[in-house]
Amino acid sequence: MKNKECLSFLLGCVVLLTLTGCGDSTSTVSSGSTIDSSSDETSNTDDDTSSDTSVENTDGTDTETSWIINNTTTSVYILDDDGVGVVEDVQSAENVTDDGIGYTYVLTNGIPKYETTMTDEMVEDLDNRPKAVTDFVNGYTTVAAGDLVLFGQDIGYNSSTENCDDTGGAGYWPPGPGCPNQQSVEAYFVDTPIDLDESDVCETGLDSIGLMVNGVAIFNWGDGMSYGTNQWYNLAPEAEQYDVDICAGHAANGLYHHHQYTSCLAELLDDEGDQHSPIYGFAADGYPLYGPYESAGELAISGWKVRDYGASEAEGGCETEGERTCVLVDEYDLEAGVMEAEENGPDIGEEVTTLSSNIIAADDGYYYEDYYYAGEEVTGAVLDEHNGHDTGDGKGYHYHITLVEEVDGTLSPSFPYQMGPRFKGELPDNSFASCDTSSEVIMGGFPSR
């Protein structure tokens, strides 16, 4: 098949410094695939490693931020330049004022304290990887059901040598992404977010767009690659589903991050779906990111829908059943119509080759262009175009991680996965993130939408 990636594997990454301010940014391969909510279990048994802080929300109520604070335990497998284990989770989160504006100032090394108890299903999934014979040193994973796997522990993968030889972690990550290392990240989150004007647009870019409460970076929906030339952009949880660890994360230039939901963090936060999910993190605009549940047994619902390419142009289709021959003029407004694609995308279900040389069917929903914002009433569990809402329950406006329940009962990532594709609020002057304004995929940039 003709799988045209617009950049090579290395050029798909842009150099990320830290979250301390403007700089180059990096993205690399991306996040996990179908998730069974019971498939991986984690535990944090050190009671003295976590601490909750509280800041005042925009409506005057106290919102529990639940930053996981730790200055005691260090990673067994991820080491600093001196060969000492990196301190896990978040080192501090304090309220500060800068130029009259209140912020939560966060310091972290970016290394989480994940401990995963392997299940039969997890082991089976690992051993049934399409390229298991070469992905693993022995052709299969070295762990068994019931084993407790620490973050960075060798489970038999034939890992990349990037960072792994010097900072540890070899064998925990599949071939492709390098191993994470200490990042010394600092970030300011404004306590009172300010909404962007309707005429202003701030696209999320490929670098960090927020932090999870355990200090892990949040990345957006994309992996920086496209099938055509500046068209048919890969969705990270789809295109790079075989390039993440057992906690649905991986590193870009050493920075560990998630593009989507991870049950490892859900376990740490005791989010079992029996009530509204707790806060999983914060976006760069200051708004909190909650987990997937709106209430007991009820998932928050993304406002984005998958296109039907066989439908009429008035309905966002191309009238070419099973063929990607047109794109939307405006993915936020179906009434704007469609236009001919600069280059047709793969047919629905056609096999494509990922950056890690895995063969995947490009089903409907594989590319960014496969989606549109439906504009349904934002009420109850339904989310807006930013993947958030304000239900009047005292939480104020907030984003949600989004999942969808499949027919077999498993939970799969639901676009746009976390916040985005556009920020709801303004990015403060001292933000670690920036609005994406580039017009094409080039070194250091990403296409604006």
Q: What is the pLDDT of residues 91-138, one digit of tens each?
A: 999 999 999 999 999 999 999 999 999 999 999 999 999 999 999 999
Q: What integer best gives the mean pLDDT of the chain?
A: 85
Rounded to two decimals, the pTM is 0.85
Per residue in 138-175, pLDDT tens? 999 999 999 999 999 999 999 999 999 889 999 999 99
pLDDT attached to residue 66? 78
Q: Read off the pLDDT of residues 185-201 as tens digits, 9 standing for 90 and up.
A: 999 999 999 999 988 99
Question: What pLDDT is stored for residue 440 in this prediction?
Answer: 39
Q: Compute the distance between CA of residue 36 and CA of residue 358 in angstroms, rounded to an integer.
A: 22
Query: Is the pLDDT score of 395 beyond 50?
Result: yes
**Quick one: pLDDT at residue 443?**
24
The pLDDT of residue 438 is 53
- Summarised one tens digit per residue, pLDDT across range 58-81 is 333 333 467 999 999 999 999 999
Instruction: State the pLDDT at residue 436.
Output: 81
Residues 6+ apart with CB under 8 A from 110: 180, 182, 183, 185, 215, 216, 217, 255, 256
pLDDT more than 70, % of the chain: 83
pLDDT at 27: 30
Q: CA dist 356 to 131, 138, 329, 375, Å?
A: 10, 19, 32, 36
pLDDT at 419 over 50: yes
Neighbours of 375 (CB within 10 A): 14
- How many residues belong to the chain? 449
Given a cut of 90, whether residue 57 has pLDDT beyond it is: no
What are the b/e assignments for 386-418, b being 16+ CB within 10 Å? bbbbebeeebbbbbbbbbeeeeeebbbbbbbbb
Write down the pLDDT at residue 229.
Answer: 87
Residue 32 scores a pLDDT above 80 = no
Q: Give tens-digit pLDDT for 203-238.
A: 998 889 999 999 999 999 999 999 988 899 999 999
Q: Is 127 exposed, middle or buried (0-12, 13-18, 19+ CB in 10 A)?
A: middle
- How large is the average pLDDT for residues 335-340? 96
- State the pLDDT at residue 277: 97
Secondary structure class of 282 (helix, strand, coil): strand
If one compares 23 and 261, the residue with the highest pLDDT of the two is: 261
pLDDT at 50: 39
pLDDT over threshold 50, residue 369: yes
pLDDT higher than 80, residue 300: yes
CB 412 within 8 A of CB 406: yes
Indicate the domain borders of the chain: 41-297+396-413, 304-375
Q: Is 186 exposed, middle or buried (0-12, 13-18, 19+ CB in 10 A)?
A: middle
